């Protein structure tokens, strides 16, 4: 496609028309110039391709539902996400879809967000890595992705209008960092802006977000589309860098664009930028499409089960109750054993009939008894079902209870109000504990729940919403065919009120203040020295791992160099297993507020019993940096940083220290209100102050011989602003003017 030529030939009306969808899922055609439409589809863990738009807009083709993001994140496995991406890309290719609408890369600020199941983590490093791998996988098949929801879409309550009020560091270090990684590393074809406003401005018309940060800083070259219905002022959106409005606005906003260009409110050049990006997308899509590729749904179903098993997290395994002994009489209790909850509600909902139920898949391993126990979607106990379940559990040696959150409890479109599981399920678990000592609970949920029975049962398996293969995958883990290797991608607090967003979620009216700032997830629990129920990065295995030989390539580095970190992991147990080695960086002493530690690397290794492998991490300056608003950039402070190697965020096995050197300094400018302590931190300031003290005989502690006295008086005077020295002193030379001269001198010296 000769885009320049087409741009020259398109009329204003045609250009405007290309900037919005023709219906729910297609861009527009311009037949006169042979510009075809392309089709997009949800996303993110399967295809929800609409087939019969006119008759039945909600009817999607039958497809494969893979594990959702809350589960895949627990794999901590980039290859797994890439494999998943390739399978999805292949399916899209077959279905002639240009773009898969996903992945979602928003941060899990609160466990209550209804859409947490579509997001990866509370940690931006992990979220960015997982989303990048998925994007790479899909796009390697010649199909695009849409990284969403850009940005700060961390709740469903008032999602179309709420303004997320976030300070700049939290925005950059927590809420944008994952997106930044994906844009730079994986180059998604498109980005989908979020519904909400950020600090007052709708994402769909936020020039700072869509152009200054996304394109100018991060180098994004693709297309930005709106979330479905996110457009407020379309003309403002064009100017801000929103290329495509989705879905169709029935010509209304196209007309507004035409009028704005005609009146001079919008320039043709601004409009052309958007049109060019739409044409580029259409062009790329034509290259990738190939309806002849095969889509083997059975093969993808098997893949869905295999991937699911890799995501499951073993939270508790007292007395090695798991893996289950096939010879022990076992009961499966709970409706979810028969009808697993494996996906979430809303736009990501996949139409699948091929669902693995644990009660069926278990036959591959053993005969079990089954009782339903509860009715889903209800808090109320069904006494007959409860009684039957208790009897079934009593007659068995081991009772495996399948529980979690019903569909109605969490979905796109609304947030949860509490973190509790349904009352009927809690009662069922309580009653079964009374009659059977060997209880294992399997959880199906899209986001953390309170687990009041954590101390009372022997085993807990977190299966999240693990896709259509989840029933089989759970059995594979329960019976030890797969050794569980998932680690939590989010903290499970003991109770909701422990969560850092508790006081400010979901906000007041259309304002939600992110008052906890940087302290999201483990960053908060670490800082407050709070014991969570299960920490970030935690997950058990049927084997054990030992960590040894931590080696840093340098004890001291310059911030423009990389640091190589090596560590050896050994499988010290009796079965093969996988371990995720986590690397956290901790700034020992910082002039700004920083989390205790932050995840900056992870690697997953597979080890046979007795086997050892070396794991290598390469850290660049970003691993040590924080975002410094005064320079609008990332900044590394010189000093000591601890490199912590752990099996979870609360199980640090080895550590060492590196000293980071840097010549870079933040710009400093002093004035009459600057205090002596701040000024004397710098050699230039200290020299001028000491000279002043000598001349005026005011000691200020700087020339005291007694070390202790010197320290004390320095501490006292450190807080004094220069202007106070003028008023406190009767020395005639100490005038405001004289002080200003000294300040000018220091500022001048510091600039050099
Ligand atoms: C959701 C998006 C989705 C779109 C299209 C919106 O309501 O927020 O994630 O891709 O609908 O279904």
Judged by average pLDDT, the poorest of 132-146, 217-231, 281-295 is 281-295
Using CB atoms within 10 A of its CB, is residue 383 exposed (0-12), middle (13-18) or buried (19+)? exposed
Residue 57: what pLDDT?
Answer: 64
Residue 597: what are its φ and ψ, rounded to 5°? Answer: -155, 160
| One domain for residues 585 and 643 | yes
Distance 247 CA to ligand 1 centre (A): 10
What band does 729 get if pLDDT is binned at 50, 70 and 90? confident
| One domain for residues 707 and 638 | no
Question: Are 107 and 121 contacting, i.e. CB atoms less than 8 angstroms apart?
Answer: yes
| One domain for residues 511 and 422 | yes
Question: Are 739 and 722 contacting, i.e. CB atoms less than 8 angstroms apart?
Answer: yes
pLDDT for residue 225 is more than 80: yes
Domain boundary at 291, 316, 334, which? 291
Domain boundary at 630, 661, 692, which? 661
Q: Per the domain annotation, does 166 fall within a domain?
A: no
Q: How far apart are CA 503 and CA 525, in angstroms?
A: 15
The preferred substitution site among 346, 351, 414 for testing ligand 1, maximizing ligand atoms within 8 Å of CB, is 346
Instruction: From the CA of 104, give the closest atom in ligand 1.
Output: 9
**Residue indicated by tokens 């009352």:** 423
| Span 181-204, pLDDT tens digits | 999 999 999 999 999 999 999 999
Question: Are 100 and 143 contacting, i.e. CB atoms less than 8 angstroms apart?
Answer: yes
- Backbone angle region of 80, left / alpha / beta, with phi > 0 → left and psi within -120 to 50 → alpha: alpha
Long-range CB pairs of 7-16, under 8 A, 24+ apart, other chains included: 7/272, 7/275, 7/276, 7/279, 9/33, 10/275, 12/258, 12/261, 12/262, 12/268, 12/271, 13/254, 13/258, 15/257, 15/271, 15/272, 15/275, 16/254, 16/255, 16/257, 16/258, 16/261, 16/271
**Residue indicated by tokens 């209550």:** 112
| One domain for residues 641 and 683 | no
Distance 228 CA to ligand 1 centre (A): 6
Q: How far apart are CA 477 and CA 260, in angstroms?
A: 60
From start to end of 529-666, where are the E strands? 545-552, 556-558, 563-571, 577-587, 598-607, 612-619, 626-628, 633-635, 639-648, 651-661
Q: Per the domain annotation, does 59 fall within a domain?
A: no
Full-model pTM: 0.96
Q: Per the domain annotation, does 380 fall within a domain?
A: yes
Q: Per the domain annotation, does 685 fall within a domain?
A: yes
Distance 552 CA to ligand 1 centre (A): 45
Residue 582: what pLDDT?
Answer: 99
Residue 443: what pLDDT?
Answer: 98
| One domain for residues 280 and 335 | no
pLDDT for residue 543 is more than 70: yes
What band does 699 get if pLDDT is binned at 50, 70 and 90? low
The preferred substitution site among 45, 50, 347, 349 for testing ligand 1, maximizing ligand atoms within 8 Å of CB, is 347
Q: Which candidate, 461, 562, 479, 522, places its Cα nearest to that of 649?
A: 522
User: CA–CA distance from 329 to each of 288, 326, 366, 372, 394 (Å)?
Assistant: 53, 8, 9, 18, 11
pLDDT, mean of residues 17-33: 97
Catalytically annotated residue among 42, 77, 123, 227: 227
| One domain for residues 627 and 720 | no
pLDDT for residue 449 is more than 70: yes
| Span 50-101, pLDDT tens digits | 886 666 767 899 999 999 999 999 999 999 999 999 999 999 999 999 999 9
Domain boundary at 244, 269, 291, which? 291
Distance 41 CA to ligand 1 centre (A): 9
pLDDT, mean of residues 711-730: 84
Give the Cβ contact number of residue 99 at 10 Å.
30
Instruction: From the CA of 148, give the closest atom in ligand 1.
Output: 9
What band does 634 get if pLDDT is binned at 50, 70 and 90? very high
| One domain for residues 379 and 324 | yes
227 among known catalytic residues: yes
Q: Per the domain annotation, does 87 fall within a domain?
A: no
Residue 714: what pLDDT?
Answer: 75
Residue 713: what pLDDT?
Answer: 75
Q: How far apart are CA 529 and CA 537, in angstroms?
A: 17
Pocket of ligand 1 (CB under 6 A): 42-43, 101, 148, 227-228, 347
Q: Report the nearest-CA residue for atom 9 of ligand 1.
A: 347
Judged by average pLDDT, the poorest of 14-28, 339-353, 707-721 is 707-721
Q: How far apart are CA 96 and CA 100, in angstroms?
A: 11
Residue 692: what pLDDT?
Answer: 86
pLDDT for residue 336 is more than 80: yes
Q: What is the dihedral of CA 684, 688, 691, 693, to 10 degrees?
A: -120
Q: How far apart are CA 639 and CA 137, in angstroms?
A: 39
pLDDT, mean of residues 665-676: 92
Q: Per the domain annotation, does 64 fall within a domain?
A: no
| One domain for residues 330 and 459 | yes
Higher pLDDT, 531 or 376: 531
**Residue indicated by tokens 């006169």:** 32
| Mean pLDDT for all residues in the chain | 95
pLDDT, mean of residues 542-561: 96
Q: Which candidate, 109, 111, 104, places its Cα nearest to that of 447?
A: 111
| One domain for residues 711 and 572 | no
Q: Report the nearest-CA residue for atom 8 of ligand 1.
A: 227
| Span 97-129, pLDDT tens digits | 999 999 999 999 999 999 999 999 999 999 999
The CATH number of residue 466's host domain is 3.40.50.1700
What's the number of domains the chain is made of? 4
What band does 396 get if pLDDT is binned at 50, 70 and 90? very high
| One domain for residues 624 and 682 | no
Q: Per the domain annotation, does 537 fall within a domain?
A: no
Residue 180: what pLDDT?
Answer: 98
Question: Are 441 and 453 contacting, i.e. CB atoms less than 8 angstroms apart?
Answer: yes
Residue 703: what pLDDT?
Answer: 55
Domain residue limits at 699: 676-751
Q: Which candidate, 189, 270, 283, places its Cα nearest to that of 234?
A: 270
Q: What number of CA atoms fall less than 13 Å from residue 304's CA on the CB side?
A: 29
Q: Report the nearest-CA residue for atom 4 of ligand 1.
A: 228
The CATH number of residue 569's host domain is 2.60.40.10
Q: Which candidate, 333, 340, 271, 277, places its Cα nearest to that of 305?
A: 340
The CATH number of residue 233's host domain is 3.20.20.300
Q: Per the domain annotation, does 480 fall within a domain?
A: yes
Q: Which candidate, 418, 415, 392, places its Cα nearest to that of 344?
A: 415
Q: Report the nearest-CA residue for atom 7 of ligand 1.
A: 228
pLDDT for residue 701 is more than 60: no
Residue 704: what pLDDT?
Answer: 60
Residue 697: what are its φ and ψ, rounded to 5°? Answer: 65, 10
| One domain for residues 393 and 372 | yes
pLDDT for residue 303 is more than 60: yes
Percentage of the chain beyond pLDDT 90 is 90
What band does 290 get if pLDDT is binned at 50, 70 and 90? confident
Using CB atoms within 10 A of its CB, is residue 571 exposed (0-12), middle (13-18) or buried (19+)? buried
| One domain for residues 499 and 594 | no
Q: Report the nearest-CA residue for atom 3 of ligand 1.
A: 347
């Amino acid at each position: 496609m000769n885009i320049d030529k087409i741009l020259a030939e398109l009329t204003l009306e045609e250009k405007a028309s290309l900037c919005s969808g023709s219906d729910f899922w297609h861009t527009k055609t311009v037949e006169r110039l042979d510009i075809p439409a392309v089709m997009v589809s949800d996303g993110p863990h399967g295809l929800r391709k609409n087939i019969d738009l006119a008759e039945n807009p909600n009817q999607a083709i039958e497809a494969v539902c893979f594990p959702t993001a809350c589960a895949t994140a627990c794999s901590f496995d980039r290859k797994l996400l890439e494999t998943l991406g390739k399978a999805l890309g292949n399916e899209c290719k077959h279905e002639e879809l240009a773009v898969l609408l996903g992945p979602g890369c928003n941060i899990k600020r609160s466990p209550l967000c209804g859409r947490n199941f579509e997001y990866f983590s509370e940690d931006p490093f992990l979220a960015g890595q997982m989303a990048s791998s998925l994007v790479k996988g899909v796009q390697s098949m010649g199909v695009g992705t849409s990284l969403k929801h850009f940005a700060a879409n961390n709740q469903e309550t008032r999602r179309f209008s709420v303004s997320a009020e976030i300070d700049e560091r939290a925005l950059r270090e927590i809420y944008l960092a994952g997106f930044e990684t994906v844009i730079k590393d994986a180059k998604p074809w498109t980005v989908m802006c979020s519904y909400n406003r950020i600090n007052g401005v709708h994402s769909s018309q936020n020039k700072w977000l869509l152009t200054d940060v996304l394109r100018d800083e991060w180098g994004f070259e693709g297309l930005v589309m709106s979330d479905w219905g996110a457009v407020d002022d379309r003309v403002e959106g064009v100017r801000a860098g929103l290329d495509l409005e989705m879905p169709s606005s029935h010509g209304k906003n196209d007309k507004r664009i035409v009028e704005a260009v005609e009146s001079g409110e919008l320039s043709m050049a601004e409009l052309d930028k958007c049109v060019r990006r739409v044409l580029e997308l259409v062009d790329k899509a034509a290259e990738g499409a190939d309806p002849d590729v095969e889509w083997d749904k059975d093969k993808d179903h098997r893949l869905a089960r295999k991937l699911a098993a890799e995501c499951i997290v073993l939270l508790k395994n007292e007395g090695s109750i798991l893996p289950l002994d096939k010879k022990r009489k076992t009961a499966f209790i709970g409706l979810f054993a028969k009808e697993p909850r494996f996906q979430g509600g809303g736009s990501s909902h996949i139409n699948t009939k091929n669902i693995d139920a644990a009660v069926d898949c278990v036959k591959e391993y053993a005969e079990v008894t089954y009782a339903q126990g509860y009715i889903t979607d209800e808090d109320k106990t069904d006494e007959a079902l409860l009684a039957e379940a208790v009897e079934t559990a009593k007659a068995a040696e081991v009772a495996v209870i399948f529980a979690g959150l019903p569909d109605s409890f969490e979905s796109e479109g609304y947030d949860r109000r509490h973190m509790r599981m349904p009352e009927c399920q809690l009662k069922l678990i309580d009653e079964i504990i009374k009659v059977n000592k060997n209880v294992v609970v399997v959880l199906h949920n899209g986001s953390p729940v309170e687990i009041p029975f954590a101390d009372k049962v022997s085993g807990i398996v977190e299966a999240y919403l693990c896709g259509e293969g989840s029933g089989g995958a759970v059995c594979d883990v329960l019976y030890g065919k797969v050794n569980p290797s998932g680690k939590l991608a989010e903290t499970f607090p003991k109770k909701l009120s422990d969560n850092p967003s508790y006081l400010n979620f979901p906000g007041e009216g259309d304002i939600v203040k992110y008052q906890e700032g940087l302290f999201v997830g483990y960053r908060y629990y670490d800082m407050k020295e709070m014991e969570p129920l299960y920490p970030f990065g935690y997950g058990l295995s049927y084997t054990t791992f030992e960590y040894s030989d931590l080696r840093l390539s340098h004890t001291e580095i310059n911030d423009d160099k990389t640091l190589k970190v090596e560590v050896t992991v050994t499988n010290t147990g009796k079965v093969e297993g996988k371990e995720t080695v986590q690397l956290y960086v901790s700034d020992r002493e910082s002039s700004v507020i920083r989390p205790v530690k932050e995840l900056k690397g992870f690697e997953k290794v597979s080890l046979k019993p007795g086997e050892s492998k070396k794991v290598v991490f390469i850290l660049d300056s970003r691993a040590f940096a924080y975002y410094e608003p005064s320079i609008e950039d990332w900044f590394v402070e010189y000093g000591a940083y601890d490199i912590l190697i752990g099996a979870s965020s609360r199980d640090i096995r080895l550590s060492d220290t590196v000293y980071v050197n840097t010549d870079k300094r933040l710009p400093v400018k002093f004035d009459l209100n600057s205090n002596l302590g701040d000024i004397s931190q710098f050699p230039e300031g200290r020299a001028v102050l000491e000279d002043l003290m000598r001349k005026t005989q005011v000691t200020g502690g700087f020339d005291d011989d007694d070390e202790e006295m010197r320290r004390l008086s320095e501490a006292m005077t450190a807080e004094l602003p220069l202007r106070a020295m003028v008023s406190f002193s009767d020395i005639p030379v100490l005038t405001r003017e004289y002080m200003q001269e000294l300040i000018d001198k220091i500022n001048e010296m510091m600039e050099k």
